[in-house]
Structure 1
Amino acid sequence: MVNINVVLTDELKQFVDKDIREGGYASASEYVGDLVRQRRRIKAEDLLRQLIAEGLASGAPAPLPPGHFQKLLERASNLK
């Protein structure tokens, strides 16, 4: 684990302290860790939305050639 020092205004510190109590967190470290995990999840969801939008904008679907997925599986297993 790594320690990080964070400087907050008094107002933000009061907000964090209240959120820790109300959220049932054991410590500020647990609270901040949860915030980071939430942000990571949001970024992953944003990327997924972007990829879905790109896929929808890419045009009509076309049938894949026979054995396409089997070839992908073989390529993936060779990467190990």
Structure 2
Amino acid sequence: MTEGGYSSASEYVRDLIRADQKRQSEERIDALLIEGLDSGELIEVTPEYWEAKRQKLSGRLTRKHTP
């Protein structure tokens, strides 16, 4: 097994499993992105949009951590 850079068959199998898990994760992310693109009305994403989003999330975090 040293030809492929693996010291044992189990190391090779573990690498195959990790590669498959990564592929599945990427497919899931792609599916979620497409689902998001297909949902709701289109909005224009501008610097102002991101600033408002940051402020909203910051407010949520502040409220969550304030006793």
TM-score interval (norm. to shorter): 0.5 to 0.7
TM-superposition CA deviations, 1:22-75 (whole Å, max 9, x none) = 3111001100110110011001100110011011111302657x4222134x17
Matched, 1:60 2:60: no
Structure 2: tracts of 5 or more residues without a match:
none
Which runs of 4 or more aligned residues in structure 1 lie more than 3 Å from their structure 2 counterparts after TM superposition?
A: none
Between the aligned partners of 1:22 and 1:71, the Cα distance in structure 2 is: 55
Partner residue of 1:70? Answer: 58
Give the TM-score normalised by structure 2: 0.64
Structure 1: tracts of 5 or more residues without a match:
1-19
Counterparts in 2 of 1:39 and 1:60: CA distance versus 1, 3 Å: same
Give the TM-score normalised by structure 1: 0.55
Aligned length: 57
Which structure features the higher share of helix residues? 2
Between the aligned partners of 2:18 and 2:37, the Cα distance in structure 1 is: 29
Partner residue of 2:24? Answer: 43
The equivalent position to 1:32 in structure 2, one of 13, 24, 32, is 13
Counterparts in 2 of 1:61 and 1:39: CA distance versus 1, 3 Å: same
